[in-house]
Structure 1
Amino acid sequence: MSSSTSQPAATATAAPTAGKSGARLAVIYGSVREGRFGPVVGDWFTGVAKQHGSFAEVDVIDLADHELPLSFPAYGSEPPPKTARVLEELSGRLDAADAFVVVTPEYNHSFPASLKNAIDWFHGEWQAKPVGFVAYGGVSGGLRAVEHLRPVFAELHSVTIRDALSFANAGDLFGADGLPKNLEGSRLAAKGLLNQLDWWADALREARAKSPYGAAA
């Protein structure tokens, strides 16, 4: 487990103090494959986020629960009713969030197609909001997936958090109880990420309230 490095929470300890902003956080599970390990990592992190105390709501969005087609409707046309209902639900939940955490594995040096597909269906919902990352995988701990996600979210006018949680060889780092074996180090790293996320969520929410973000027009 790491925060941007192979050492536990090396940089997260310098994070800003949480502002208790009452922001709404959406935690997005990016993998949809059968037998995935993502919910183990995501459920633990979500529990830490709820205990953190800074977020008024923590909404888990598991992409495996939502059927988003790979084919997009032609410009100017409407999606089929079933797809429209899914999009309406997800749009509402993403729009309501003040901050995001993406839980992602690493597939072939990058992130899953399911995650890119979900990101691309939406636009304004991401803008002027912070995005944090919890990655897991083999020896790289999913960090290459995170580095590929950063420019994607930059294009969507999101602000990505510098520190990321990374679990290398994740299956060996979690016990049968679903908790990290290095529980204290993992909690400290998660707290550092959440502190940074809370600071940015508060700052950007205040900025959006003062003046609507220009790129949304």
Structure 2
Amino acid sequence: MSNENLKITILFGSYRIERNGLRVIKYLDSHLKERGVSTTIVDAKLEKLPLLERRYSEYAADKNLHSDDKALFERLKNISEIFKASDGFLLVAGEYNFSVQPGLKNLIDYFLPEYAFRPGALAMYSMGAFGASRGITNLRGIMGEVGMSSLPSVHYFPQVHVSLDENGKDVENRYEKQTKKFLDELIWHAKALRGARSEGTPN
């Protein structure tokens, strides 16, 4: 079955100087596009998202926004529209102190209904040997709380600074089998839930 018109949004929340997760994004983005999937990358650092004060829905409901809030509101509105048009999410995440990167958590928290009844897949990376596996437990809980269906498969990228080059190329041909299973699962769930949403969702 064709993947035409299937839309996956990639979420990224690293604010570090050396952002090795960009290697993972380039790698997975290219593989999704090879499968005919439309992708959009939402990078919290590039969006200049400050620490959360109010959710997007609260800004949208405020008819008297201050000038400083209006610029943020427009950025959030654009992200909200991207999320609402998405059939699924791909979270590219590292691990900070056994937990979630604060920038990614902050990005997720700005929104809520946009995630409902859509799958979320996890691609975890680190410079160490464990591929940020210790950060998954908290992240899965967050995904479930906001309404994302967390996929069973996780794509790990240990020693990402060695296994992927700056252009996202798998220099050691390490990931081909894992990537196929991971993206097959994401695309299957995205299609299945898109079809189910078209018939209505629980109130």
- So what's the TM-score if we normalise by structure 2? 0.87
Equivalent pairs, count: 193
Query: Which residue of the partner structure matches residue 24 of structure 2?
Result: 41
Q: Contact between 1:128 and 1:213, CA under 8 Å: does it hold in 2?
A: no
Matched, 1:65 2:24: no
Matched, 1:140 2:130: yes
Distance of 2:8 and 2:30 partners within structure 1: 12
Distance 1:69 1:176, change over 3 A: closer
Question: 1:176: how far off?
Answer: 5.7
What one-letter code is carried by the residue in structure 1 that aligns with 2:13? G
Distance of 2:191 and 2:29 partners within structure 1: 19
Question: 1:67: how far off?
Answer: 1.7
Distance of 1:152 and 1:58 partners within structure 2: 23
Matching of residues 110-121 of structure 1 within 5 Å? 110-121=99-110
Matching of residues 116-135 of structure 1 within 5 Å? 116-135=105-124
- Post-superposition Cα deviations, 1:172-196, rounded to whole Å, max 9, x if no partner, equal 222465412332x412211211111
Distance 1:51 1:112, change over 3 A: same
Unaligned runs of 5+ in 2: none
Cα RMSD over matched residues?
1.9
Identity %: 25
Distance of 1:178 and 1:131 partners within structure 2: 21
Distance 1:73 1:167, change over 3 A: closer
SS at match of 2:179: helix
SS at match of 2:90: strand
Question: 1:52: how far off?
Answer: 2.0
SS at match of 1:70: coil
What one-letter code is carried by the residue in structure 2 that aligns with 1:125? E
- So what's the TM-score if we normalise by structure 1? 0.82
What one-letter code is carried by the residue in structure 2 that aligns with 1:121? Y
Matching of residues 1-217 of structure 1 within 5 Å? 19-22=1-4, 23-53=6-36, 55=37, 57-73=38-54, 77=62, 78=65, 80-137=69-126, 138-175=128-165, 178-183=168-173, 185-214=174-203
Give every structure 1 segment of 4 or more consecutive aligned residues whose post-TM-superposition deviation is greater than 6 Å.
Answer: none
Question: 1:126: how far off?
Answer: 0.6
Unaligned runs of 5+ in 1: 1-18
Distance of 2:97 and 2:72 partners within structure 1: 29
* Higher RCO by CA contacts (8 Å cutoff, separation 6 or greater): 1
What one-letter code is carried by the residue in structure 2 that aligns with 1:68? L
- After the TM superposition, which of the residue ranges 92-101 and 65-74 deviates more from structure 2? 65-74
Question: 1:72: how far off?
Answer: 1.0
Query: Which residue of the partner structure matches residue 6 of structure 1?
Result: none
Q: Contact between 1:20 and 1:198, CA under 8 Å: does it hold in 2?
A: no
Question: 1:165: how far off?
Answer: 0.9
